[in-house]
Amino acid sequence: MANDISALADDVFSPPSDSALWRKDFLLGAATAAYQIEGAAQEDGRLPSIWDTFSALPGKVLAGDTGAVACDHYNRWESDLDMLSALNVDAYRLSIAWPRVMDETGRPNRKGLDFYRRLLGRLKEKGLKTFVTLYHWDLPQHLEDRGGWLNRDVAYRFADYADLMSRELAGQVDAWMTLNEPWCSAFLGYGNGHHAPGLANGRFATQAMHHLLLAHGMAIPVLRANDPVSQKGIVANIGRGTPNSGSAADRRAAHLFEVQHNAWILDPLLKGVYPEDLFELWPGTDPLVLQGDMKTIAAPLDFLGINYYFRTNVKSDGAHGFTEVPLEGVERTQMGWEVYPDGLRDLLTGFNETYAALPPIYITENGMASDDNVIDGRVDDAQRIAFLKRHLAAVDEVIKKGVDIRGYFVWSLMDNFEWAFGYERRFGIVHVDYDTQKRTFKRSAELIAKFLKERAARA
């Protein structure tokens, strides 16, 4: 396997001449999230978030790590943007920390707002497209204390937050994304407790999801009114489920896996309904839906962000659901996730056939974690290079089949706080030494920069 990966890594960014990657209008960028890189958790009026609370609880995060310092991006943002510029990327996806920009009464925190204004202004000076996520999981703790996403009122508070940000930052954002991966916020945060706020109840998960999607739907018209030139969308993480056998029961199990991972989010957004199969899988968990909610949730989108990482092989649990059956002999990342680019191709092709209202797509996250080390000043991340090559080839194949994909963002710009896995798992194309905060381009970053320089020269 190592020799195969090295061979794939050699020419990762030398795609065929007819590849969409050569098109200047196909965006290639890098992505981050506020809590994972910013640090400065108590500076300039920032309030506590649910992740500050959760990561401080013993046993919740690997090695007891927290995002209190992270990559210290809040204080090192200028040099980080110079680093980003050196990659020659077209666009940068970042998130705003809700607890940094508003106080408990909803009044703006000017110091926090000024940070993002400076950041976005410098990105525009550098000629980069700006993709901004409003909610990447860091709910202000004071809102969680009032019930969090189980409380319908938080959807209204999110609309207020979207109103403030789109008024303050109008003209500096090319694309607004309301939520990042509501599946993770709802299921991991409220369904099984693996993420903040750490609750574990099936009914909590479906109700939290409804309020997350309602918040999204309420925010879209606000964003349109305040910043009409920008694009508006949402980011969903998708998962490929494959049956462990050809039996009808296992095929049904794979279908149900994709219902709860994909259709749970995409059906309300693009069809205005929840999938009926969801409540076959999770009986008795129907959320409280008020009149007009589904119409609000299904507000037209300018684009859909898609995050993809791996597939899950499943079999029937003998009842109404599925259970995972890990495959042997497959390539896996440091996260233990199978490398399976065909899953991205299959899902995107299927969505194009299933959803008549499917908007243009950006791949807003794709990447892998590996145990990277700096040796003699260099980081040879051959597996990541091969991973990126294969997934970009899958994206190109889907484009040629007629799916409207406008760009691709590698996750992540730099190593960072990987939620419940702390700092052990490294997703970045730039290595971060957390003791010294030194940044080092990995080989993958060098190849990305080289390809994009060559593409610019051809334009």
d(CA 57, CA 212): 25
Q: Which helix (H) or strand (E) holds 266?
A: helix 264-271
Is 328 one of the annotated active-site residues of the chain?
no
Paired with 303 in beta bridges are 233
CA distances from 59 to 64, 186, 195, 198, 425 (A): 7, 21, 12, 12, 17
Catalytic residue selected from 365, 418, 424, 454 = 365
**CA end-to-end distance (rounded Å), the chain:** 36
Paired with 95 in beta bridges are 133
Is the CA virtual torsion 186, 167, 129, 20 positive or negative?
positive
Q: Which helix (H) or strand (E) holds 440?
A: strand 438-441
State both tokens at 377: 């000043």
Note whether 33 and 95 are within 8 A (CB). yes
d(CA 174, CA 191): 34
* Strand, coil or helix: 99: helix
> Residue 145: which residues within 8 A CB-CB, separation 6 or more?
none
Note whether 234 and 179 are within 8 A (CB). yes
Total Cβ atoms within 10 A of residue 449: 18
Is the CA virtual torsion 78, 139, 311, 359 positive or negative?
negative
In the numeric block, the tokens 């409220």 are attached to 190
Which residues does the annotation mark as catalytic? 365
